[in-house]
Structure 1
Amino acid sequence: MQLPHGNKAILGNKIESYCLNIYHEKGKHKAILFDAKLGITIDNAYILKEALLSAAIREKVKIVKENDYGIHYNMKFILQTNVGESLILVGWIIRRGETFPRLTNCYPVKK
């Protein structure tokens, strides 16, 4: 299935404050992988942002769970840059009372 309202997806500050932040206690591991595998850092975060927004429209998702917070979706897609290629795992949520998906997490596969 497609991500409902994927064309209205919101990334928030998750990319800069977590996924590409080498100073974040947990996010730094993702930041290191993004840099090593794809050459994506906070300085060129637009590459990841554009890929995520595009994927929100075109890629398939799977419902992981539904809880008091909303409906959680997982997505996988391949991201290729001049540095390399990696499978990217992405989490989205559509919160109760909202009609648009929000990014909850994303990271490249370690392999």
Structure 2
Amino acid sequence: MTKRLPKGGQAFLDMRKIEDYCLDPSHPRGRHKARVFREALGLERSDAAWLRDALLEAAQSGEALLDGEGAWGTHWRLDTTVRRQGKSVVVRTIWIIRTGETVPRFVTCWVL
């Protein structure tokens, strides 16, 4: 069952996860995501703030699915359509609400 990400309007997204991982073509693991984001939306590392803003907007208004619970907290999956320069793709985002906390934190994202 989908619903809103709890406290999505207060979601925390560390820019380093976008800039130094998801959009970094030299990152050992993130370079594949960076290539797909570049091909799908024309995004470069310098577009990290733009992507962050799009993902935070989705966290506030998009529909999320509780994806599991573990020792570290609850994981939420949120798919959102991202549009840029006449292109449109679905981006999957993963968020965690850590045990003992109430605010969702960005974990990762990728183009579906």
Identity %: 36
Question: Are residue 57 (structure 1) and residue 73 (structure 2) matched?
Answer: no
Match of 1:88 among 88, 91, 109: 91
Q: Aligned letter for 1:45? A: A
Deviation at 1:48, TM superposition (A): 0.7
Number of aligned residue pairs: 109
Superposition pairs for residues 73-84 of structure 1, below 5 Å? 73-84=76-87
Asked if structure 1 preserves the Cα contact closer than 8 Å seen for 2:19 and 2:46, the reply is: no
Equivalent of residue 45 in structure 1, options 40, 43, 48? 48
Which residue does 1:32 correspond to in 2? 35
Is 1:3 matched with 2:8?
Answer: no
TM-score calculated relative to the size of structure 1: 0.94
Sort the Cα spacing of 1:64 and 1:74 in 2 relative to 1 into closer, same or farther, 3 A: same
Judge conservation of contact 1:21–1:28 (CA < 8 Å) in 2.
yes
Residue equivalent to 1:23 = 26
Query: Deviation digits for residues 49-79 of structure 1, max 9, x if unmatched?
Result: 1100100000011011101000000010110
Amino acid at match of 1:55: A
Question: Counting strand residues as a fraction of each chain, which structure ranks higher?
Answer: 2
Give the CA deviation at 1:83. Answer: 5.0
Q: TM-score, normalised by structure 2?
A: 0.93
Contact 1:3–1:60 under 8 Å retained in 2: yes
RMSD between superposed Cα atoms in Å? 0.9
Cα distance in 2, alignment partners of residues 2 and 65 from structure 1: 15
Corresponding residue of 2:108: 105
**Structure 1 residues without counterparts, runs of 5 or longer:** none
